[in-house]
Every structure is written in C-alpha cells, then in structure tokens.
Structure 1
Amino acid sequence: MRKVNILFLVGLCLGALVALVLVVAEPQRHIVTALGPTPVAAAGTESSTDSAAPDTPSSPSPTPSGKTTPSSGGAKSGGTTAQALEALVPRGHVSVVVYDRTAGTTLLSVNADRTYTSASLVKLMIAVSALENGTQAGVVKEMLSRSDDDTASALWVVNGETNIVESAIQRMGLTGTHPPASPGRWGDTEITAGDITKIYRYLFTKAPADERTIILAALHGTTEFGADGFRQYFGIPDALGAGNFAVKQGWSCCRPTRMLHTSGTVGKNDRYLVTVLTEQPQSVGYATASAQITSVVKNLLPLLGM
C-alpha cells in the first residue's frame, strides 16, 4: 500500500513538473514569433514606399528664365527679335534699323538710339557737303566706293570739319549725332542707327537729284577692298551677294573698342534701307566681328523678301 502511494506521489510530481515547463515555455514561443518576422515586414514596407509614387503631384520641373533662346531662322521663327540679333554679337553691342521706302514704314528697330563712333559712315555727310560746295563727282565717288581716308580728310578740312556734321544734324533731323570732340578726328563722330537711316532717307527725298545720283552710283560701285586694303564686303554684301546692294561701310579700332558697321540699300529700286552698327572689345578680331555682323544681316533676309 505504501509503495503504491509512493509511486502515485512520484507520478503526480512529475505531471506537475511537466505542466509547469509547458506554461513557462509558451510565452517565450509567442515572443519569438512576434519579434522574428518584424524585420522582414519592415524591410518590405520601406522598399515599397521608396519606389511608389507620392500621393501628391510632384513639383514641376523648374521653368527656364524669361530669356528666350534665339533662333537661327528668320522673322517667323524669331530670328529678328532684339534678343536673337543681340545673341549673334555675344561680347559686344548691335543696333539695327530696316526701313521700307515703298511702304514708308520701319520694319525693324533694335537699339536704334544707341551711340557709336561713326568710322567711315561719316563720309556720307562729307559727301553731301562736298557736292554742295562744288567738289567734282569723281572725287566724291572715290572717297565713297573705296572708302578713301585721305580724300575724306582733305574734304573734311576744306568743307568746315565739324560744321559738316552740325549742318547735317540740322537739315536731316538727326537727334543722336554729334561732332567729334577732336575736330581733326572725323571718324569719332557720334552716330546712331536711327540717324544713319535718316541720312539715307534724306538722300532719297530731299537731296538734289544730281547729288543723289552721284552718291548712289558710288555706293552701288563699292569695291571689295577699301583704299587701305581692308575687305569691306562684310555685312550686307556678304549676306546678299554681288549686285544686290549699295553700301557704305565703316571700321575702326581701337579707341578703345572695335567698330564694324554696314549700311545701305537692298532690293529692287533700292527699296529697303538697312543699317547695322556693332561695337566689340579689342579682343574680338576683325574676322570674327565681320562674320558676326554678316550673320545679323542674314537673319534680316526674310524681312527683305529674300
């Protein structure tokens, strides 16, 4: 009887011990289950969030500044806007006026009132004064067509130096033109693209017919190289080709900058008056400056019906 009781007690104790082990082990099993999957789930969530599109629309890409990229085309594509033409002379300045004599309207005006030194464009004023004072036609033609500085200097002195410019200002209604500070330096006369256009308009509307004929014949006969050997077919001549222009060109350097100007008439019966003035740093050579001013004129061709 005692043996049975002892065995019963031993069995009872073993059963209690097993139950105790199971109770203690169960929470630990749940803890492992709860902690184990969490890192996997978290990693999956981060990956999904990074690749997904945000709920709110993304910010638009920054828009370009107000500066328009210039076009290399003509008027219809923006090639004759002020910004487009200025971009063709990136280190300098450019002024442009295009006037249609048939329609009596200005087709384009860019920086028309900006002042430049004239270089040889003042020879237009010298020519008008010289012819009025009886200078022979051949002398004036030589000065204009070959841009002869020696002839210009002689006529400048004989006809009153700065008085030549003052007279032109009065009779032609020039508003931005001024005589040179040093009377002997005719090439330092101050001009604007708007005023050069007025000089050409004066020739066609108010100048005596014989003077107009002499001056235009000289401009239609402009030689490729000037009297000083400089190639003066940049700008209008190079852009249009032989036989399509009558021009007076100007070039000078370096007080302190480089000037390169092209001006004249274009089209049948000298319909269009074109003036392009440029100023560049000394570091921009004549070859580069010539190519740039020619590019400016090429961009004007749609306006000229070419």
Structure 2
Amino acid sequence: MRKLSGIFLVGLCLGAIGAVVVTASHTTSAASEPIAVTEPVTTITAAPGSPTGEPAPEATPTPAPKAGPAPVKVDAGTLDGLVHGGEVSAVVFDRQRGAATVSVHADRQYTSASLVKLLIALSVLQQNGPVADVQRMLSRSDDELASRFWADYGGPSIVTRWAAKLHLTGTRPPSDPGRWGDTSITAADVVRIYQYLVAHGPSAIMSALRGATERGSDGFRQYFGIPDATDGRAWAVKQGWSCCRPTRTLHTSGVVGEDSRYIVVVLTEHPARVDYATASKRVTDIVSTLLG
C-alpha cells in the first residue's frame, strides 16, 4: 500500500490484524503448457549476474510437451477493455523460453504502491538487516516496517541503486522522499526485478512471497489477481494497492507454475469512483485472461 508520509502511518482501508507466520509455498499442481501468448514474442533483457541472467539449465533431456488447448492470444485491446476507463500494463515472461509471451504497454509508468518493497527488502538483506521483519513486510505488506526500513536503509537511494544494478529503465524514486509508494515503475522493470530475485536474490524473499497472507497488515484482501486466477498452479506474489491521487491503483506481480516458470506482472489504475472490490475483480479477470 502506498505510504502517505515518511512517518510511521498505516496506509488505507482497515486496521492491522494479528501477526501471521510466513507459511510454506503454495504447491499444488502447475500447468505444463504455455500460458497465453501474443505475437510477436519479445525478449526482455536478462537480469545481471550471469550471461543469461539465470543459472544454466542442467543438461537433461527435454520431455515432450503435453497436448493442451491452443494458446490464447491476448492483445492490448482485449486488456484495455477489462479496465473500463482505467489503464493496464501486463507482461508474462516464460523463463524456460527466455522471452515474454505477453507484453502490453510494458513501458508505461505507474506509481509502485507496495511493489517497491521488493527493492526495500533487497537493500535491507544486502546490509544484513532483520530477515524475519523483511519477510513480514513482504508477506503481510506491512507499511510500518517498510517506512522504518526506508528511513534506515537509504530512502530514495534504495531505488536509484537497484535501478542502476538491474538496468531498470523506467523506475524512478519518488519526488517526495518520504513517500516510498510513489516510486515510479513499469511492468518491464518489475519483470527484471523478479528475474533477479529468482536467479540471484536472497531465498528469504521468495519464501515470503510464497507465504503471502490473504489479508495484508491493514486488513486489505491481497489475493486478487494472481492468487485468485491461478487455478491450482503454484504461485508467489507481491501485491500493491493505493488510492486516490487521483486514481485507484491495484498491482499484482509474482511467479506462477512449477520451478517459477512464468513471471506475471499486471499493473493497473482505475478511476477513483471504482471501488476496491470491483477493481480487484478486474485485475483477477485480466490475469485469468493471461493464463488462458
């Protein structure tokens, strides 16, 4: 959730609920077929750290793909029609293929809301900060912890350092140094962050995202989007929500499938008159469309 000041305030909506221990990963069945595709397939720059941005795959025979329904084609018009007066950007990146199968408005900028907590977590753990608190900040989207870490571990320089390291071309720190949730992001940049997290990031971060609780620390239901739309696939997520300067923001991001095969990022803005329940359903419908 977007922080409205540098002081330790809880964000919008409901009051904080009790502490919840970060749980084990959501590991039901994972789909082996490709998810929805658009044409042409595009490539996103590999994350730094290795020639491809990820560890080299083991030299094992590739099993024949299972037969499945024809992939769903998703275009900008289809997704734009699901937000009714708002804006949407979406990228689905297939780590096995090393390319994006969906890329719609990938470089459009949005305020990050709580997605910037991924960069805050990287900075805290890089400096040997408290692992358990970082995991709580991520799994429960705890704004108070995010504000404390933002103040203690570099503020806007957190964003500039990681943007340079990960080659995030559309990510910018907030103009007001205390409003970490006003960091600018793009869907393409969020994909690059997940490429780095999966391949090279501290394991504590992905564990926290696999253990995301249904309710955030402010009581907001954060299972919209990827969790509600995955239909039994394994997932790990970081969500974002905020309102209303001037729009209502809802973002869903994470990995889906066996071995975190698909990175899925959906960023949305809705008119302020659209309530959270309606906006949440729209984001879930977008992800359902992407997953076919």
Q: Same fold (TM over 0.5)?
A: yes
Cα offset, 1:90, TM superposition = 1.5
**Aligned twin of 2:191:** 197
Aligned partners of 1:244 and 1:78: how far apart in 2? 20
Aligned partners of 1:204 and 1:263: how far apart in 2? 13
| Structure 2 residue 150 is the aligned partner of structure 1 residue 156 | yes
**Aligned twin of 1:274:** 264
Q: Flag the structure with larger Rg.
A: 1
Cα offset, 1:81, TM superposition = 1.4
**Aligned twin of 2:23:** none
Contact 2:236/2:254 (CA < 8 Å) preserved in 1? Answer: yes
Structure 1 letter corresponding to 2:125: L
**Aligned twin of 2:253:** 263
What RMSD, in angstroms, separates the aligned Cα atoms of the two structures? 1.4
SS in 2 for 1:80: coil
SS in 1 for 2:129: coil
| Structure 2 residue 227 is the aligned partner of structure 1 residue 248 | no
Superposed, which structure 2 residues align to 1:57-206 within 5 Å? 80-206=74-200
Q: Where in structure 2 are there 5+ consecutive unaligned residues?
A: 1-35, 38-69
Cα offset, 1:300, TM superposition = 1.1
1:88-144 Cα deviation digits (max 9, x unpaired): 112100000000111111111000000000000000000000000111211110000
**Aligned twin of 2:66:** none
1:236-293 Cα deviation digits (max 9, x unpaired): 0011146621000000001111100000000001110000000011011111100001
Structure 1 stretches of 4+ moved >6 Å: none
**Between structures 1 and 2, the one with greater helix share:** 1
Aligned residues with identical type, % of pairs: 54
**Aligned twin of 1:289:** 279
SS in 2 for 1:166: helix
Q: Where in structure 1 are there 5+ consecutive unaligned residues?
A: 1-73
Contact 1:261/1:277 (CA < 8 Å) preserved in 2? Answer: yes
Structure 2 letter corresponding to 1:95: S
Q: TM (normalized to structure 1)?
A: 0.71
SS in 2 for 1:96: strand
Q: How many residues align?
A: 225
With CA pairs under 8 Å and 6+ residues apart, which has the higher RCO, 1 or 2?
2
